[in-house]
Structures are given as C-alpha cells and as structure tokens.
C-alpha cells in the first residue's frame, strides 16, 4: 500500500470511488472537478494504491477558524473501495490525511458524514479513530 498525492491518471478510479461514496460521477465530471480542485492551493487530494490500483481517496482543504486561532483541515471526501474495506486501508489513509494537516500547520481536522443508514459504519470508524461527534450540519441549494 502506498499513499501519495493524486494525479490526473487517477481520475478514472477516483470517479468510481466517488460513485461508491454515493455521488454518481463520470470520468468527464471527475476530470473537470479535479482540474478545478488541483488549481486551488488550499485543496489537496491523497490516494492510496495497491499494486497500481487506486483503492481509496481523501479530499482535503484547509480553512481558517473564526472561533479560535489557527487553521484546520476539512476532509471533504473520504472513501475506500468497497472491495478493500475492513483491511486497515482507511486507517492508513486517515493517518496520512492527519499528517498532511499537521504539515500545513493545522491545529484540528474535521470530517462530515451524512446521517444516512449506509454511513453508520463510517461513523463507527471515525469514532474508533478518535473523532468525536461535535455538530449538526445543514445544507441548502442556492
């Protein structure tokens, strides 16, 4: 297993991973998204590969706290291929995400996960990794 920064050749596998996360994504859509994400200096994408196959990804961005001093990192997309789950890959990818956050000087890291039944295993995973439930999120189309 190898964790590294994502590159454009990873786009087809990242599209599959986003679809598995519950967001149907074509290669064309992922190409457009990744081009925009890659151009933003506050964003970074990590992937984990096994024998040349991308089997997980973590989309990260930095932010500045309003309520305290310092910066934080938000995990905006985190997924392990469904055929590779429960093998420790998520732990490796999350540890690499936290290391990237530290390298940016972040004092905290946050992740949101939907309240749908299919996300309950993810919630248990984050809790087991030391994350705690802190807030309720809301969303609206504008």
* Confidence class for position 134, pLDDT limits 50, 70, 90: confident
The count of residues in the chain is 142
CA distance 78 to 57: 6
Range in 7-16, 38-47, 69-78, 129-138 the model is least confident about:
129-138
Q: Which residues contact 57 (CB under 8 A, 6 or more apart)?
A: 6, 10, 14, 17, 45, 46, 47, 48, 77, 78, 79, 93
For the whole model, what pTM was predicted? 0.91
Tell the residue number behind the tokens 């998520």, with chain if given.
90
Q: Which residues contact 125 (CB under 8 A, 6 or more apart)?
A: 90
Instruction: Summarize the confidence of residues 80-105 as an average pLDDT.
Output: 96
Mean pLDDT of the chain: 93
Instruction: Summarize the confidence of residues 4-18 as an average pLDDT.
Output: 98
pLDDT tens for 12-40 read: 999 999 999 999 999 999 999 999 999 99
* Confidence class for position 49, pLDDT limits 50, 70, 90: very high
Residue 16 is predicted with a pLDDT of 97
Q: Which residues of 107-134 are buried (b: 16+ CB within 10 A; e: fewer)?
A: eebebebeeeeeeeebeebbeeeebeee
């Amino acid at each position: 297993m190898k964790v590294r920064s994502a590159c454009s050749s990873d786009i087809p596998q990242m599209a599959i991973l986003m679809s598995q996360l519950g967001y149907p994504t074509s290669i064309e859509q992922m190409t457009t998204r990744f081009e925009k994400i890659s151009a933003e200096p506050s964003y970074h994408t990590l992937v984990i590969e096994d024998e040349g196959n991308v089997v997980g990804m973590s989309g990260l961005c930095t932010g500045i706290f309003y309520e305290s001093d310092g910066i934080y990192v938000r995990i905006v997309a985190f997924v392990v291929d469904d055929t590779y789950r429960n093998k420790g890959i998520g732990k490796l990818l999350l540890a690499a995400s936290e290391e990237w956050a530290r390298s940016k000087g972040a004092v905290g890291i946050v992740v949101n996960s939907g309240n749908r039944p299919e996300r309950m295993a993810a919630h248990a995973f984050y809790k087991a990794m030391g994350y705690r439930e802190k807030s309720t999120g809301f969303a609206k189309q504008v």
